Amino acid sequence: MRSSCVLLTILVALAAYYVYIPLPSSVSDPWKLRLLDAVFRSVQQVTNLIHYLGLSHHLLALNFIINSLVKKNAWSSAEVKVTDTDFDGVEVRVFEGSPKPEEPLKRSVVYIHGGGWALASAKIKNYDELCTAMAKELNAVIVSIDYRLVPKVYFPEQIYDVVRATKYFLQPEVLHKYSVDPKRIGVSGDSAGGNLAATLTQQFNQDTNLKNKFKVQALIYPVLQALDFNTPSYQQNANTPILPRYVMVKYWVDYFKGNYDFVQEMIVNNHTSLDVKEAAALRARLNWTSLLPASIKKNYQPVVQTTGNARIIQKIPQLLDARSAPLIADQEVLQGLPKTYLLTCENDVVRDDGIMYAKRLESAGVEVTLDHFEGCFHGCMIFTSWPINFSVGIQAQNSYIKWLDQNL
């Protein structure tokens, strides 16, 4: 009996040691976040083992687990009609708010889910619930795009999917089918989906053949650049769940089908050192010492290597492609973009991507709302239902939908 108690005590202590990680004092529901992070880390370790044994690619294994646990069938209610279909060969889930006699035409949002260009789906519970809430509260048509993922496809195929599906939706006959007002269509996405939404908006704004343009774009903690992994937010939140810096850099490498051997060098900015000529012209567009306010910069210092590894950009030139990193787009591309909402989280490695993009857009004459949440962490907005409901996630989602209601 005594030995059993000792063993139990040891197991509890080990579990507590595994779960516990230091978190900033501002983080909402810290123990719930620690538990969520522990689950994520455990699943990732299992899928990494599966990959190591040659049984499956770790991302395919991870997605299989995600879909097994939280995939949700299209289920309609009295208030929202939900259907799965495809737009020009790209799978989408469409959410239609109830018709109102006084509003024959509805607003609409094209939504692009996050997941590092490799994980999740428009059909998992988290995004289904978000889009259902949007359709209901905005009385709108939400088109959630189920673009193809790494490792089945790589950059820029994800972009091609969202472009193709959105162009199909914007056809007059399709808008008529869904009773959508062509002048009240927005685009939105979170994380890597925010990246794709920003790229989509830039491309559509430059496309003179497109009759229907977006009225607004709403970007939720978007991933917008891969040149500098030592902005203040990357330094401050290097080990903050649920997106540590190392994991974010690996997502970038996966997106480009790159070599993991480069990850550690990219973390210290060896890929954009002063001797890498290809990066020189873009560095000024990402000068966070001038783009970020003092309250964000704090006492952090830029990390600019004098000499680095030029082979990284030679092998992965996509790192400097504005289609993958919309934050580094030419100023002319940013001019004329639609009214923009940017939601950022204090405890998030990509926080400064969003803040810098807001600054660059404002300098280009774009009307911007920057909605910053002190207690938020990356991904919080899709964690709003039991057992992984975070109060700050609910607040962020409400603020986001309220902005869309007032501006779309």
- Catalytic positions, written as ranges: 191, 348, 378
Strand partners, 377: 347
What is the rounded distance in angstroms from the CA atom of residue 369 to the CA atom of residue 329?
Answer: 20
| DSSP string of 159-204, one letter each residue | HHHHHHHHHHHTSHHHHHHTTEEEEEEEEEEETHHHHHHHHHHHHH
- Whether 190 and 220 have beta carbons less than 8 Å apart is answered as yes
Residue 379, phi-psi category: left (phi > 0), alpha (psi -120 to 50), beta (remainder) = left
- Beta strands 140-145 and 90-97 are antiparallel
Q: Please state, in angstroms and as integers, the Cα–Cα distance from residue 34 to each residue in 89, 169, 389, following that order.
A: 40, 40, 13
Instruction: Report yes or no: 21 and 31 within 8 Å, Cβ to Cβ.
Output: no
Amino acid identity, position 359 = K
Q: What is d(CA 118, CA 62) in angstroms, rounded to the nearest whole number?
A: 10
In angstroms and rounded to an integer, the radius of gyration of the C-alpha atoms of the chain is 21
Cis, peptide link before residue 156, omega less than 30° from 0:
yes
Q: How crowded is the C-beta side of 151, counted as CA atoms within 13 Å?
A: 14
DSSP 338: P
Contact 61, 50 (CB under 8 A): yes
Within 10 A of 145 (CB to CB), how many other CB atoms are there? 26
Residue 129's contacts (CB-CB under 8 Å, 6 or more residues apart) are 384, 385
CB 67 within 8 A of CB 120: no
